Amino acid sequence: MTYGMAPPMHPHHLSHAADATSSLPPQSYAAHQQQQQQQQQSQQQMSQYGASQMGSNFAYSQGFYGHPSQHHPNEVQSQQHASAYYSHPTSSPQMDPSAQMYAAHQMNHPDMMAGSQFQGHHPDLLAHQHGYAALQGAGIRPKRKQVKNACINCQKACKKCDEGRPCGRCVKYGLVDTCQDSARKERRRGIKRGPYKRRATTGSQPTNPALSVSGPMSYGRDGHISPSSRSDGMLAGTPGTESSFSSPAFGTQALAPRPPMPLQMPSNGWQPSNPSPIGDDRDGLRARYGQSTASNQQSYYGYEQDAAHHVYDRSSSAPATQPGSMLSPMGRFPNSSTPQSSTSQLPSLGSQASANGSYLGGVYGSGAGRMGAMSNGSTGSLLSPPLHSSASSTSFLSASSAPNGLAHHRLHSDSSLATLSSNGASSSTMSPRTPLNGPGSEPPLLSPSGNKMSGFAPPQPTVPTASGTFLQQDTSRPFPLKMPKPATRGRSGTGSSYLDQPLQQQQQGYYANNLAPINVKLPMQHQQQSQPQQQQQQQQQPPQFGRSSPYMAVQSLDDRRQFLSNTTPRMDLSPNAGMMPIKSERDVGAPPPAPAGSLGLA
DNA sequence: GTTTTCGGACGCTCAATTTC
DNA sequence: AAATTGAGCGTCCGAAAACT
Ligand SMILES: [Zn+2]
Ligand SMILES: [Zn+2]
């Protein structure tokens, strides 16, 4: 496979993947996770924000930070509201449970920086008025404030959201109806992390000099040992970053380069994160939003379909443990093509300590999915450097993870790329936000006529989880999508290079049986198949996560320009569907707020 | 000139690990 | 059990490409 899902779906894994298709959700997981999550959430909220929050697990309720919900900011000047920079509880001395953290904030606080013409101004505001770059040029580097949960629209567009619901951006672009908190996937558990650097025990030497002397390092989940740099290239714990300040032990850590580490598992009995070959790899099979709420929306601004590019997931991916996943130095490299030593592949790393010993991580390929997928399918990616250049090296070296920036970029599903994402396989790549047919389940459907279906309750598909159990898919697929274009442009449209021809063909065929990606057009042959038929087939045959990704299929179709209509498979297939006004289309698709924890993932 | 796409820097959260 | 680490997962900036 290619694209995101690739690694996991390595043919070799298909058999395992089958497990994921089981229609009998082991049940415990979802409930368990949900419970856990609630606990954690509440715990965390209590501790970090000094208040517990009721309601959705995912959403920090709007206005939690005092954001004026009625604010209708302009995308560029949306910072009139109280920026979390200041209002965020963790930035508040009173609220912040961690003095260290507060200190860190202060260190980065723009106002703390001297000689700034921006001094005294709201950093966020400044940042948006002048741009972060501009501020940096002025010697200011405001800490970028993130909302805890971007709404689905902003998320998809990779644009700044705010705490309000509807958020300012949605208001601006008329996406109010679909402005909902996006669901967050739950972090996987059981991931071994290897030894942490020793803390500086008062008056004593580190217990394990070897670890502390050489600087922070850790074992990637795939068993690679690596400096504890962020997989995305950020050196966690480097001075200048918040985390570093919070680490009392930092001072004891030598940042000096340490000798390259052998690409081997530490022999301390530590094992790669998921011993089970199939174990965590289910993680990726997550629910995705099913369908566009607007099948044929006219393109309108605001909906910057910025999504697909973030297809790979450096993290979640379970592939790490999948046999053949290639993540591990332990003989998982395909074709015995042993990865070269990390260092040899490292594009010069910055001073940041980072990556030295790590290896190739390019687990999911290199960057952008686009390339990766590409030709080598899962494997290739491993050895290939990120598409882009360079500098970002660290990322691609990251042991346990895929290249920088890839990680999160999974949610997207836009016309051209979303596509790439997945195949069921992988975990990671399957964004919770991207639609996926759950085993034995049907994807949520829009009214056949494209009209609002009151009382229509789409079936709840389930998806395999990391632990092999299933979670319910959120039936909603809130993304308001604009009309898919005949994929003719876009960098992303790098054509069939994404997939191998054979693969494309396979996928093409598969597509009809799957939940269509958000805005994809079906080729005539598939269009002719009635929806009921599709549903039926779905029930009868379990999704082939292994190689048939709706997304991929989409991509292939896209590449071939074989679109014959504006309709999307799972959406409205009626003749007029395509021209429905935005509003009504949204009505159709406007999903009910996802029940806490239902997304599965979360 | 505008909109969309995309790479990737950066931030937050929280499970793993260490320390007490 | 508390403290801390540090990476999983997320947000979204800003530039380039595509479009109008
Ligand atoms: Zn938003
Ligand atoms: Zn919104």
Q: What is the pLDDT of residues A95-136, one digit of tens each?
A: 332 333 323 333 333 333 333 333 445 545 555 556 666 665
Query: Considering all CA atoms of chain A, what is the largest pairwise distance in Å, rounded to the nearest integer?
Result: 77
Q: Looking at the predicted structure, is the pLDDT value of residue A153 above 60?
A: yes
**A108 CB inside 7 Å of strand B:** yes
Q: A581: helix, coil or strand?
A: coil
Distance from the CA of A155 to the center of ligand 1, in angstroms?
7
pLDDT the model gives residue A163:
83
pLDDT digits (tens, 9 = 90+) for A376-388: 333 233 333 322 2
pLDDT of residue A255 exceeding 50: no
| Cα A506 to middle of ligand 1, angstroms | 37
Is the pLDDT reported for residue A179 higher than 60?
yes
Distance CA A351, CA A358 (A): 15
A257 CA to middle of ligand 1, Å? 42
Residue A222 and residue A321 in contact, taking contact as beta carbons nearer than 8 Å: yes
Give the residue whose CA sits closest to B6 at C1'.
A309
Q: What is the pLDDT of residue A202?
A: 52
The rounded Å distance from CA A162 to ligand 1 centre is: 6
Segment A311-333 shows an average pLDDT of 31
Residue A522 reports pLDDT greater than 70: no
Whole-angstrom Cα distance, residue A464 to residue A456?
25
- Alpha-carbon distance A408 to A132, whole Å? 21
Q: Could you identify the residue written with the tokens 């399918």?
A: A377
CA of A276 to C1' of B14 (A): 23
**Residue numbers 150-169 of A with CB closer than 7 A to any atom of strand B:** 157-158
Q: How confident is the model at residue A408 (pLDDT cuts 50, 70, 90)?
A: very low
Three-point CA angle A454, A460, A462, nearest 5° = 165
CA distance A313 to A74: 31
Tally: H helices and E strands in chain A: 18, 4
Most confident by average pLDDT, A174-188, A190-204, A300-314: A174-188
Segments in A81-159 forming alpha helices (H):
84-87, 99-108, 123-130, 132-137, 152-157
Work out the average pLDDT over A404-429. Answer: 32
Decide if pLDDT at A167 tops 70: yes
| Positions on chain C within 7 A of a protein C-beta | 4-15, 17-19
Q: How far is the CA of A144 from the C1' of B9 (A)?
A: 10
Rounded Cα distance between A22 and A463, Å, is 9
Q: What pLDDT shows up at residue A329?
A: 29
Q: Is the CB of A10 under 7 A from strand C?
A: no
Comparing CA positions, the residue from A235, A297, A223 lying closest to residue A265 is A223
* Ramachandran sector of residue A372 (left: φ over 0; alpha: ψ -120 to 50; beta: rest): alpha
The structure tokens listed for A494 are 């790098």
C-beta within 7 A of nucleic chain B, residues 5-24 of A: none
Report d(CA A204, CA A100) in Å as an integer.
22
d(CA A458, CA A438): 13
Amino acid at A181: D
Q: Is A582 within 8 Å of A294 (Cβ atoms)? A: yes
Strand C reaches within 7 A of the A238 CB? no
What is the per-residue pLDDT for A491?
28
Environment class of residue A444 by beta-carbon count within 10 Å: exposed (0-12), middle (13-18) or buried (19+)?
buried
Q: Which of A176-185, A205-214, A429-438, A449-458 has the highest mean pLDDT?
A: A176-185
**Strand C and A409 CB separated by under 7 Å:** yes
User: How long is the CA A526 to C1' B3 vector, in angstroms?
Assistant: 31
Task: Calculate the alpha carbon distances from A193 to A190, A212, A270, A540 in Å.
Answer: 9, 16, 9, 41
Provide CATH code, domain A148-180. 4.10.240
pLDDT band with cut points at 50, 70 and 90 for residue A152: confident
Residue A357, CB, strand C, below 7 Å? no
Show the DSSP H helices in A183-256 as ranges.
Answer: 209-213, 242-246
Residue A502, Cα to own-chain centre: how many angstroms? 28
Verify if strand B has an atom below 7 Å from the CB of A392: yes
Statement: residue A360 has pLDDT above 70: no
Query: A470 pairs with which residues across the strands?
Result: A464
Residue A16 CB partners (closer than 8 Å, separation 6+): A277, A278, A281, A322
Ligand index nearest the alpha carbon of residue A173: 2
| Chain A 223..252 CB hits on strand B (< 7 A) | 230, 232-234, 236, 241-243
Q: Is the pLDDT of residue A186 over 70?
A: yes
Distance A169 CA to ligand 2 centre (A): 6
Pairing of strands A225-227, A217-219: antiparallel
CA dihedral A189, A264, A407, A218 (to 10 degrees): 60
Question: pLDDT band for position A427 (50/70/90)?
Answer: very low
**Closest residue by C-alpha to C1' distance, nucleotide C16:** A491
Q: Calculate the angstrom distance between C1' of B2 and CA of A301.
A: 10
ipTM score: 0.88
Residue A85 and residue A142 in contact, taking contact as beta carbons nearer than 8 Å: yes
| Interval between CA A485 and ligand 1 midpoint (Å) | 23
Q: What is the pLDDT of residue A439?
A: 29
Over chain A, what is the mean pLDDT? 38
With a 7 Å cutoff on the CB, does A143 touch strand B? yes
**How many CB atoms lie under 10 A from the CB of residue A269?**
6
**Per-residue pLDDT reduced to its tens digit, A15-40:** 233 233 333 233 333 333 333 333 33
Q: Is the CB of A405 under 7 A from strand B?
A: yes
- The answer to whether A154 CB is within 7 Å of strand C is yes
Which pLDDT belongs to residue A143?
76
Q: What is the mean pLDDT of residues A411-423?
A: 31
Model confidence at A423, in pLDDT bands (50, 70, 90)?
very low
Top-confidence residue, A141 or A78: A141
Task: Extract the tokens encoding A337.
Answer: 């093509």
pLDDT band at A199 (very low <50, low <70, confident <90, very high): confident
What ranges make up the beta strands (E) of A348-432? none
Q: Determine the distance separating the centroid of ligand 1 and the alpha carbon of A594, expressed in angstroms.
A: 16
Residue A134, pLDDT score: 62
* DSSP letter, residue A239: B
Partners of A472 in beta bridges: A462
Relative to the alpha carbon of A178, which ligand is closest? 2
By CB atoms closer than 10 A (0-12, 13-18, 19+), residue A289 is buried
Supply the pLDDT for residue A130: 61
CA dihedral A328, A334, A340, A343 (to 10 degrees): -40
Write down the residue that tokens 């990671």 correspond to.
A428
- pLDDT of A164 > 80? The answer is yes
To 10 degrees, what angle do helices A550-560 and A501-511 make? 110
Q: What ligand has the least distance to the C-alpha of A160? A: 1
| 3-class secondary-structure state, position A77 | coil
**Is a pLDDT exceeding 70 seen at residue A475?**
no
How far apart CA A5 and CA A420 sit, in angstroms, is 8
Within A 498-557, residues with CB less than 7 Å from strand C: none
Pairing of strands A470-472, A225-227: unpaired
State both tokens at A171: 């208001």
Whether residue A215 contacts residue A247, with contact meaning beta carbons closer than 8 Å, is answered with: no
Q: Which whole number is the average pLDDT over A174-194?
A: 83
For A185, other C-beta atoms within 10 Å of its C-beta total 30
Neighbours of ion ligand 2 (CB under 5 A): A 151, 153, 167, 170, 179
Task: Identify the DSSP state of A217.
Answer: E
- CA atoms lying within 13 Å on the CB side of residue A73: 26
Closest ligand to C-alpha of residue A175 is 2
Does A250 contact strand C, using a CB cutoff of 7 Å?
A: yes
Q: Is A23 helix (H, G, I), strand (E, B) or coil?
A: coil
Q: Is the CB of A235 under 7 A from strand C?
A: no
Q: For residue A410, give both structure tokens.
A: 């999974």
pLDDT, residue A262, reads 34
Which one, of A388, A387, A271, lies nearest residue A320 by Cα? A271
Structural contact between residues A250 and A239, judged by C-beta atoms closer than 8 angstroms: yes
Chain A residues 196 to 225 whose Cβ lies within 7 Å of strand C are 196-197, 199, 216-218, 220-221
A36-65: pLDDT as tens digits: 333 333 333 332 222 233 323 333 333 222
Residue numbers in A 447-486, CB below 7 Å of strand C: 485
- Over A295-348, what HEC string results? CCECCCCCCCCCCCCCCCCCCCCHHHHCCCCCCCCCCCCHHHCCCCCHHHHCCC
CB proximity A429–strand C (7 Å threshold): no
CA of A302 to C1' of B2 (A): 12
Q: What is the pTM (predicted TM-score) of this model?
A: 0.41
